[in-house]
Amino acid sequence: MLHIENISKTFFPGTINEKRALQNLSLHLKPGDFVTVIGGNGAGKSTMLNAVAGVFPIDSGKIIIDGEDLTKQAEHKRAKYIGRVFQDPMLGTAAGMMIEENLSIASRRGKTPGLGWSYSNEQTNKFKELLKELDLGLENRMSARVGLLSGGQRQALTLLMATLKKPKLLLLDEHTAALDPKTAEKVLTLTDKIVSRDNLTTLMITHNMRDALRFGNRLIMLHNGRVIIDVEGEEKKHLQIPDLLTMFEKASGDVMANDRMLLG
Amino acid sequence: MLDLLVPTTAQGLLWAVMALGVYITYRVLDIADLTVEGSFPLGAAVAASMLSAGYGPIPSFVVAAIAGMVAGVVTALLHTKMKIPALLAGILTMIALYSVNLRVMGKANLSLLGTDTTFSIIRKMLSLNSAYTTLVVGLLATVLVAVFIYWFFGTEIGAAIRATGFNQQMIRAQGVDTDVTIMIGLLLSNALVAISGALVAQSNGFADVGMGTGTIVIGLASVIIGEVLFGTRSFKNSVISVILGSVVYRIVIAVVLQLGMPPNDLKLFTSILVAFALAMPLIKSKFGSKKVVG
C-alpha cells in the first residue's frame, strides 16, 4: 500500500541550524493498517507525514502509494490519494466559508474544479446525514461559517472532510493535541469509528503513549529520523507503557526523558 | 440636488466595476494587489486607442479586458512562480505598465473628442442627456459584472479561489493548485479594473497615463465603506455592499468638494479616510478596553 523507501530530509543544510530530520527512514504499510506513531520532539514524526503529503521535496528516497511513485508529485496532486487532518484546528477548514461549502470542496478532493455550481441540494442532504453521525448538532448549522465553530467541532469536521471521499491513505498529525481532554477523546473515538468502518490505511501521530497503545493494529516509534520500534497485531495488543520504555532504551541506548509523552 | 446626485451616482457605478476587482484581490484572495494602479489606465489606454482607430465599443472593451488579464497574469507569475511577495509583484507590474500605457497611446494623453464612444452611441440611441446616459451605462455594466461575479464565485473554481484566500494549506490538501487559483483571481480582478478604466476614459472623454494614481486607495475606500455601511452577511451581500460603497464614496467626495475643499487635496482626503477605516478595528478595541477599565 504505502511504501516509504529510505527517505532523508535535512532542513537548512550547510547552516548553523542544520537539522537532519529524516535519515534513511523506511516504512511499509499494508492495506488497512492503522498505525500509531510516537516519538519525542524532533524525532521526525511530522516531517515524515509532511514528506508523504508532499509539503516539501525530500532529499533522497522514494514514496510509493499503490505502486505509483509520488516522490516528485506536487502536494495538490497527491491529495487525490491522501486525506489529512492537522494539529491546528484552524488549518483543515476555510474559516470564512459555510460548513456546507467546506464539505462540498472536500467531496471533490483531487478533482480539478470546474464551472458547475459548487453545491447542490442533493449533496446537502447527504452531508446532513453524515454530520448527524458526529453528534455535534452541526447538521442544523449547514450555512454557518466554520470560523464560528469550536476547535473540537472544527477538528471533527476536518476529519469528516478528509474521509468524505475515501482516501487511500489518511494522515493524522496529532489531530487531538490542541483539544481539551474530553473533546480529544470524542474526536479519537470518532477517528477509530471512521477508520475501522471504511478500513482506511492510516498513520496517526500522537504524543500520548496510552492512545498509541489503545488505537490501531500497529505502533511505530521514531527517534532521530528513523523507525526504532515497530510492533503489530497480538504483540501490540499486549504491550504496556513500561514495555515501550524498555524497548525504547534498548533500541536507542537512551533514556526516555519526555514528560509530555510519559504523562500525556 | 438631483443635478449633483445623478452624475455622482453614475460615476460611482463606473468606478464600482474597479472596486469589485479590488474586492476580489483584497478580500477574496487576501492580497493587496497594486497592479490595479497600472491596469486601470491600461484599460483606458487600450479602449481609447481602439476607439480612435474606429474599432467600436465592444471590441474595445474586449481587448481592454484581455490586456487587464495579461497584467494580472504577469503579477501572478511574479508572485507564485518567482516567489516575489504579492505587494512587490504588483508594484513591479504597475511600474512596467506605465511604459506600456505610453506605448499603447503613443503619447501621455489621448482625447476622444469627436470619437464615437459607448456613451455617445447610447446617448443618441436613447436620446438622453449626458448624466443619465452615464447612469444607464454604469448601471448596466455594474449589474452585468455583479451577476457574473456572483455566479463565478459560486462555481467549483470560484469556491476554490475563495478557499485559497482563507486557507491555502487547506485547499492544497483538497487537491487544488493554489498557484492557479491565485492566477485566476488576479486575472479576473485586473480584467474588471481595466474595463472600469475603459468606461471612465470614455465618460471623461480622454485617457491619460496618470489617471491610475490612487486607484487602489479608491478601491479600498469603496470596499471598506460598503462593508461598514451595508454589511458582509453573505457573498451576495458583500458584492452589493462594494457597489454601494463606491457610490457612497463618490457622494462623500462630491459633498466635501461642494463644501469648498480644494480638488487638489482630494487624494490626501481619500488616504486619510481609508487609513482611518483600516485602523477602525484597533481604534474600536482600544476604545472598548478603556471603557471596561474606566
A118 interaction partners in chain B (CB closer than 8 Å): 154-156, 158-159
Torsion angle in degrees (nearest 10) through CA of A60, A62, A63, A68: 140
Prediction ipTM score: 0.90
CA angle B103, B104, B107 (to 5 degrees): 60
Beta carbons of B86 and B209 less than 8 angstroms apart: no
Mention every residue, 6+ apart, whose C-beta is less than 8 A from residue B2. Answer: none
Shortest Cα–Cα distance, B159 to chain A (Å): 7
With bands split at pLDDT 50, 70 and 90, how would you rate the model's confidence at B294? Answer: very low
CA distances in angstroms from B226 to A160, B32, B82, B146, listed in the order given:
36, 17, 34, 14
Torsion angle in degrees (nearest 10) through CA of B202, B205, B208, B211: -70
pTM: 0.92
Structural domain boundaries in chain B: 2-265
Q: Is B158 on the interface with A (CB under 8 A)?
A: yes
Torsion angle in degrees (nearest 10) through CA of B22, B27, B29, B34: 40
A111 interaction partners in chain B (CB closer than 8 Å): 175
pLDDT over threshold 60, residue A67: yes
With bands split at pLDDT 50, 70 and 90, how would you rate the model's confidence at A100? Answer: very high
SS3 assignment, position A41: coil
Shortest Cα–Cα distance, A113 to chain B (Å): 5
A108 interaction partners in chain B (CB closer than 8 Å): 156, 174-175
CA angle A234, A237, A240 (to 5 degrees): 130
Query: What does the block give as the cell for B248?
Result: 457612497
With bands split at pLDDT 50, 70 and 90, how would you rate the model's confidence at B286? Answer: confident
Q: Is B237 on the interface with A (CB under 8 A)?
A: no
Mention every residue, 6+ apart, whose C-beta is less than 8 A from residue A48. Answer: A4, A7, A22, A25, A27, A37, A203, A222
Q: Is B210 on the interface with A (CB under 8 A)?
A: no
**Nearest C-alpha in B relative to A116:** B155
B156, B167, B170 member nearest A116 (Cβ): B156
A84, A94, A108 member nearest B156 (Cβ): A108
In DSSP notation, B225-274 reads HHHHHH--SSHHHHHHHHHHHHHHHHHHHHHHHHTT--GGGHHHHHHHHH
For residue A257, the model assigns a pLDDT of 61
Q: Is B282 on the interface with A (CB under 8 A)?
A: no
Distance CA(A91)–CA(A83), nearest Å, equals 13
Q: Is B138 on the interface with A (CB under 8 A)?
A: no
B170, B175, B177 member nearest A94 (Cβ): B170
Query: What does the block give as the cell for A225?
Result: 529520523
Predicted confidence (pLDDT) per residue in A218-235, tens digit: 999 999 999 999 999 999
With bands split at pLDDT 50, 70 and 90, how would you rate the model's confidence at A262? Answer: low
B150 interaction partners in chain A (CB closer than 8 Å): none
For residue A256, the model assigns a pLDDT of 64
Q: Is A61 on the interface with B (CB under 8 A)?
A: no
CB contact under 8 A, B159 and A115: no
Bridge pairing between strands A218-223 and A34-39: parallel
CB contact under 8 A, A111 and B175: yes
pLDDT over threshold 90, residue A253: no
A101 interaction partners in chain B (CB closer than 8 Å): 159, 162-163
Q: What is the mean pLDDT of residues B182-204?
A: 98
CATH class of B2-265: mainly alpha
Distance CA(B240)–CA(A52), nearest Å, equals 44
A76 interaction partners in chain B (CB closer than 8 Å): 172, 175-178
User: What is the share, in percent, of chain A residues with pLDDT greater than 70?
Assistant: 96
Beta carbons of B37 and B190 less than 8 angstroms apart: no
Q: What is the mean pLDDT of residues A236-248?
A: 88
Bridge pairing between strands A60-65 and A2-11: antiparallel
For residue B293, the model assigns a pLDDT of 43
pLDDT over threshold 90, residue A211: yes
Taking one residue from A and the other from B, the number of pairs with CB-CB distance under 8 angstroms is 84
With bands split at pLDDT 50, 70 and 90, how would you rate the model's confidence at A245? Answer: confident
Shortest Cα–Cα distance, A53 to chain B (Å): 8
With bands split at pLDDT 50, 70 and 90, how would you rate the model's confidence at B291? Answer: very low
Predicted confidence (pLDDT) per residue in B196-242, tens digit: 999 999 999 999 999 999 999 999 999 999 999 999 989 999 999 99
A157 interaction partners in chain B (CB closer than 8 Å): none
B177 interaction partners in chain A (CB closer than 8 Å): 74, 76
Distance CA(B124)–CA(A180), nearest Å, equals 70
CB contact under 8 A, B176 and A113: yes
**Nearest C-alpha in B relative to A107:** B174
For residue B59, the model assigns a pLDDT of 97
A77, A82, A91 member nearest B170 (Cβ): A91
pLDDT over threshold 80, residue A3: yes
CB contact under 8 A, B167 and A91: yes
Burial A163-194 (b: 16+ CB within 10 A, else e): bbbebbbbbbbbbbebbeeebbebbbebbbeb
Give the lowest-confidence range in A110-114, A123-127, A259-263.
A259-263
Bridge pairing between strands A202-205 and A169-173: parallel
**Nearest C-alpha in A relative to B181:** A113
Distance CA(A162)–CA(A169), nearest Å, equals 10
CA quadruple A172, A173, A176, A178: dihedral positive or negative? negative
Distance CA(A74)–CA(A51), nearest Å, equals 11
CA distances in angstroms from A167 to A66, A182, B233, listed in the order given:
12, 27, 34
DSSP-assigned beta bridge partners for residue A230: A220
Distance CA(A151)–CA(A134), nearest Å, equals 14
Torsion angle in degrees (nearest 10) through CA of A106, A109, A112, A115: -20
Query: What does the block give as the cell for B259?
Result: 463644501
CB contact under 8 A, B166 and A96: yes
Distance CA(A176)–CA(A212), nearest Å, equals 12
Query: What does the block give as the cell for A150?
Result: 469550536
**Nearest C-alpha in A relative to B29:** A96
For residue A152, the model assigns a pLDDT of 92
With bands split at pLDDT 50, 70 and 90, how would you rate the model's confidence at A248? Answer: confident
User: What is the share, in percent, of chain B residues with pLDDT greater than 90?
Assistant: 87
User: What is the share, in percent, of chain B residues with pLDDT greater than 70?
Assistant: 97
B156, B171, B177 member nearest A115 (Cβ): B156
**DSSP 8-state secondary structure symbol assigned to residue A113:** P
B163 interaction partners in chain A (CB closer than 8 Å): 94, 97, 101-102, 105
For residue A246, the model assigns a pLDDT of 87
With bands split at pLDDT 50, 70 and 90, how would you rate the model's confidence at A264? Answer: very low
What does R_g of chain A's alpha carbons equal in angstroms?
Answer: 19
DSSP-assigned beta bridge partners for residue B171: none
pLDDT over threshold 80, residue B250: yes
Q: What is the mean pLDDT of residues A171-189?
A: 94
Predicted confidence (pLDDT) per residue in B3-49, tens digit: 889 999 999 999 999 999 999 999 999 999 999 999 999 999 999 99
CB contact under 8 A, B171 and A93: no
Q: Is A101 on the interface with B (CB under 8 A)?
A: yes
Cβ neighbours around A32 below 10 Å, total: 14
CB contact under 8 A, A79 and B172: yes
What does R_g of chain B's alpha carbons equal in angstroms?
Answer: 19
CA quadruple A106, A112, A116, A122: dihedral positive or negative? negative
Q: Is A108 on the interface with B (CB under 8 A)?
A: yes
